[in-house]
Structure 1
Amino acid sequence: MSDGRNEKPGTLVRRMPLREGVSRPVVTPIQPSVVYASPSIATLHSQYEGRAHGYTYAREGHPNADLLARKIDMLEEAEGGLILGSGMAAVSATILGLLGAGDHIVGGNQLYGRSLRLMHQDLARFGIATSVADPTDVDAMRAALRPETKMILVEVISNPTLRVADMAGIIALAQEAGVILAVDNTFTTPVAYKPLVEGADITIHSVTKLLAGHSDVTLGYVAARDPAQMKAIYDFAVTVGMTPAPNECWLAERGLYTFPLRFEKAQANAAGLADWLADHPKVARVLYPGRSDHPDHAMAASIVGQAFGNMVSFELKDATEAAADRMVQAAPDLPFAPTLGDVGTTLSHPASSSHRGLTAEGRAALGISDGFFRVSVGIEDLDLLIADFEGGLAAV
């Protein structure tokens, strides 16, 4: 039996770098390598000490994630942002990377359901105390602060009731109190609002949603104004392995190129759908920040101008789960799915999905009944979209 030493040349294949040419690819290459080879120990030292740019191990960073982060940095007017495995990874890395036992965080009382679960059920196990308060009321946020408060976490527009935070007041409060202000900018997007530009300390995105826009990736993004805070978030994320996949980063980068066009079309559709729903006899109320009857319309206009976004919520007059289910089943062309930001419209029922972990009383306090729906409006023809809702509501 041969030991391989006498095999013909070429029968054992070495790894070799791609051959470079005088042209370059127009589309970003996907680089799935988990490991990267350095030419010497000295070079490796230079990489780890920041004197040379390079990659070592994909958990610590890779080219597709870095490129996507730089492009979102451009949108947010940020520097050194980080891509993570999901939006909740970005929220978790921000809190757990910067806070510790004995610290306290104040959150908006209408945060995304999993953010609320993190606040109410998980952080206490790490010795981090939590409170929630109404972000539309700065005095309520101020009353929730304690001497040990280190962070405030809010969404500009809340999920799913679309209430609008008093961002100017909260920014002033955080600066006055000397606490970190982290802003989940997912609903608003950098088209409508740039937290770091306005004075917040940290901006967070679920890239899964509007930025990527096609329901085929799960990614998050976080950027901090203070480089030391950004490093603490990065170190925690790397340690616990919140690594994004190169292929998903590539898909999200592709989505970014059409993001402004998708945003404008979906927003126009949302405004039209909200007006149509408001006139429907089976709809009790419609929540869309662009409508004058929204409780925070003036606040929204002062924060986002005319960029009111693509999210619409509404409540049936028959606010029961049975009525809601009839509508869902009668509108099969409206994907019933707990997501948002897709090119196509999706319908979500918070009581049975994002906020199912709350008690009925807790949901009621937020204004979420069993007949409450959240709609992520897409870029379809508006007449077709209205026809789908007409069919669904006819069954209620």
Structure 2
Amino acid sequence: MKPTIIRPQGLPDSVSSPVVTPIMPSVVYASDTPDALDAQYEGRTSGYTYAREGHPNADVLARRIDALEGATGGIVTGSGMAAVTAALLGLCKAGDHVLGGDQLYGRSLRMMRDDLPRLGIETTLADPTDAASMEAALRETTRLVLIEVVSNPTLRLADLDGIAALCKARDILLVVDNTFTTPRAIKPFEQGADVVLHSVTKLLAGHSDVTLGWVAAKDPDLQRQLYDFIVTTGLTPSPFDCWLAERGLVSFDLRFDRAQRTAETLGRWLAGQAGVTRVLYPTRDDHPDRARAQALLRGTGGNMLSFEIEGGRAAANAFAAAAEGVAFAPTLGDVGTTLSHPASSSHRGLTPEARAAIGISEGFFRVSVGLEDPEALQDTFGAGLAAARGAR
């Protein structure tokens, strides 16, 4: 018998095509000749070579997110922090200065405080709700400004228009992390952003079963810098995770709208409960940035809300333990509601005084509202509040 080739090339011919995107886990792709490979690398033809440089599942997902954000050529990365890393390290060099909002995601803050300075990139944090505060922190060497439209976990609104105007006037790159808000609420490129990024892990994928990021630049030269950095440093996404995220993205609009309605309802209910001292939600009349939220978020409020209860850590422990069925977990964007306690998770590295300065007490909780019935959440949170009152 004639021996067979172990890896025969090609797939079976078919006059039909799959309705669902296939999972394509191949790490390598074969070309016909060295000339054909040259043509791919030189951009005269399109194709795949090695999965670290791109693969079909990542490109399918990237195109879908591009369409949501009004972008072209966005790149999927292995995590949201991989996207942040690509923007900060791929576009900056030693001697540059980076200005960040002072309530960025916890690991973004750590990168600003510890990692960038270690690599010779100076950093400063300032209040993004006040463009004057951000302007005062700019330097001659400022290369890039990184902000989130809505802060985590206090849900304050950045002065995006003011900051974008500052960056444009001084030729500084504006990078916006749109994870919290999502393109359903705001499209930062339309507001003057140069680079937009996401933790796709969160609401875009929406099921807490993938870890991915996405980043895109408006300028093609910047986009190429991002791509080269991502490929060189191996910030590569898994084909399977990309496939799962594409599936999750199909229901993104429906999930966002349902969770948003429930968040509004839950916020109103919480505000009327004994022992609740504060409720933060962008569309509420008592939100400190309500007017800005109306302008920037086009009337949306999103699925995130925060609230504060009396009684400190003892009450917080009692609430979390009694709110059965709601996962106490430092994440957001899942189909199920999750509860986060910033003082013991995302902001545990800050002193109590520093947490207090930004409005985070031991009784402060952040809620990522999912798809449950509002009455079910009220029952669950009611049990938690009753337990918290008993612990005071």
Give TM class, smaller chain.
over 0.9
Map of 1:37 onto structure 2: 30
Q: Secondary structure of 2:125's match?
A: strand
Q: Describe how 1:172-251 pairs up with structure 2 within 5 A.
A: 172-251=165-244
Q: Please state how far the C-alpha of 1:230 moved relative to its aligned partner.
A: 1.0
Rounded Cα–Cα distance in structure 2 between residues aligned with 1:215 and 1:378: 12
Rounded Cα–Cα distance in structure 2 between residues aligned with 1:182 and 1:113: 17
- Decide whether aligned partners of structure 1 residues 40 and 360 sit closer, same or farther in structure 2, where only a CA change above 3 A counts: same
Q: 1:290 aligns with which of 257, 260, 283?
A: 283
Rounded Cα–Cα distance in structure 2 between residues aligned with 1:367 and 1:83: 34
Map of 1:3 onto structure 2: none
Map of 2:343 onto structure 1: 351
Rounded Cα–Cα distance in structure 2 between residues aligned with 1:52 and 1:389: 57
Map of 1:302 onto structure 2: 295
Rounded Cα–Cα distance in structure 2 between residues aligned with 1:48 and 1:12: 27
Q: Secondary structure of 2:76's match?
A: strand
Structure 1, unaligned runs of 5 or more: 1-7
Tell me, yes or no, if the aligned pair for 2:328 and 2:340 is still in contact at 8 Å: yes
Tell me, yes or no, if the aligned pair for 2:186 and 2:298 is still in contact at 8 Å: no
Rounded Cα–Cα distance in structure 1 between residues aligned with 2:139 and 2:341: 35
Tell me, yes or no, if the aligned pair for 2:149 and 2:158 is still in contact at 8 Å: yes
Q: 2:106 aligns with which of 92, 105, 113?
A: 113
Establish whether residue 260 from structure 1 lines up as the match of residue 291 from structure 2. no
Q: Describe how 1:75-114 pairs up with structure 2 within 5 A.
A: 75-114=68-107
Rounded Cα–Cα distance in structure 2 between residues aligned with 1:283 and 1:155: 27
CA deviation string 1:275-294 (max 9, x = no partner): 11111111110100010100
Rounded Cα–Cα distance in structure 1 between residues aligned with 2:360 and 2:82: 26
CA deviation string 1:248-269 (max 9, x = no partner): 0000000111000000000000
Establish whether residue 143 from structure 1 lines up as the match of residue 136 from structure 2. yes
Give TM-score scaled by structure 1 length: 0.96
Structure 2, unaligned runs of 5 or more: none
Given residue 84 of structure 2, which amino acid in structure 1 is its aligned partner? V
- Decide whether aligned partners of structure 1 residues 14 and 231 sit closer, same or farther in structure 2, where only a CA change above 3 A counts: closer
Given residue 272 of structure 2, which amino acid in structure 1 is its aligned partner? D
Map of 2:323 onto structure 1: 331
Q: Please state how far the C-alpha of 1:229 moved relative to its aligned partner.
A: 0.8
CA deviation string 1:67-87 (max 9, x = no partner): 100110000010010000111
Map of 1:395 onto structure 2: 387
Given residue 11 of structure 2, which amino acid in structure 1 is its aligned partner? L
Rounded Cα–Cα distance in structure 1 between residues aligned with 2:356 and 2:127: 15
Q: 1:385 aligns with which of 373, 377, 384?
A: 377
Q: 2:274 aligns with which of 281, 294, 313?
A: 281
Q: Secondary structure of 1:204's match?
A: strand
Q: 1:360 aligns with which of 352, 357, 361?
A: 352
Establish whether residue 321 from structure 1 lines up as the match of residue 303 from structure 2. no
Given residue 333 of structure 1, which amino acid in structure 2 is its aligned partner? G
Q: Please state how far the C-alpha of 1:307 moved relative to its aligned partner.
A: 1.3
Q: Please state how far the C-alpha of 1:17 moved relative to its aligned partner.
A: 2.3
Tell me, yes or no, if the aligned pair for 2:61 and 2:245 is still in contact at 8 Å: yes
Rounded Cα–Cα distance in structure 2 between residues aligned with 1:254 and 1:10: 41
**Aligned-residue CA RMSD in angstroms?**
1.1
Q: Please state how far the C-alpha of 1:233 moved relative to its aligned partner.
A: 1.2
Q: Please state how far the C-alpha of 1:371 moved relative to its aligned partner.
A: 1.0
- Decide whether aligned partners of structure 1 residues 317 and 272 sit closer, same or farther in structure 2, where only a CA change above 3 A counts: same
Q: Secondary structure of 1:217's match?
A: coil
Q: Secondary structure of 2:8's match?
A: coil
Tell me, yes or no, if the aligned pair for 2:319 and 2:384 is still in contact at 8 Å: yes
Q: Secondary structure of 1:107's match?
A: strand
Q: Please state how far the C-alpha of 1:15 moved relative to its aligned partner.
A: 2.9
Q: 1:164 aligns with which of 157, 164, 181?
A: 157
User: How many percent of aligned residue pairs carry the same amino acid?
Assistant: 62
Tell me, yes or no, if the aligned pair for 2:329 and 2:339 is still in contact at 8 Å: yes
Establish whether residue 72 from structure 1 lines up as the match of residue 65 from structure 2. yes
- Decide whether aligned partners of structure 1 residues 248 and 268 sit closer, same or farther in structure 2, where only a CA change above 3 A counts: same
Tell me, yes or no, if the aligned pair for 2:181 and 2:302 is still in contact at 8 Å: yes
Given residue 292 of structure 2, which amino acid in structure 1 is its aligned partner? M
Given residue 380 of structure 1, which amino acid in structure 2 is its aligned partner? E
Given residue 323 of structure 2, which amino acid in structure 1 is its aligned partner? A
Give TM-score scaled by structure 2 length: 0.97
Given residue 76 of structure 2, which amino acid in structure 1 is its aligned partner? I
Q: 1:18 aligns with which of 6, 11, 24?
A: 11
Map of 1:5 onto structure 2: none
Rounded Cα–Cα distance in structure 1 between residues aligned with 2:331 and 2:276: 22
Q: Secondary structure of 2:143's match?
A: strand
Q: 1:125 aligns with which of 118, 123, 132?
A: 118
Rounded Cα–Cα distance in structure 2 between residues aligned with 1:11 and 1:54: 27
Rounded Cα–Cα distance in structure 2 between residues aligned with 1:176 and 1:80: 26
CA deviation string 1:170-198 (max 9, x = no partner): 11111011100000011111111111122
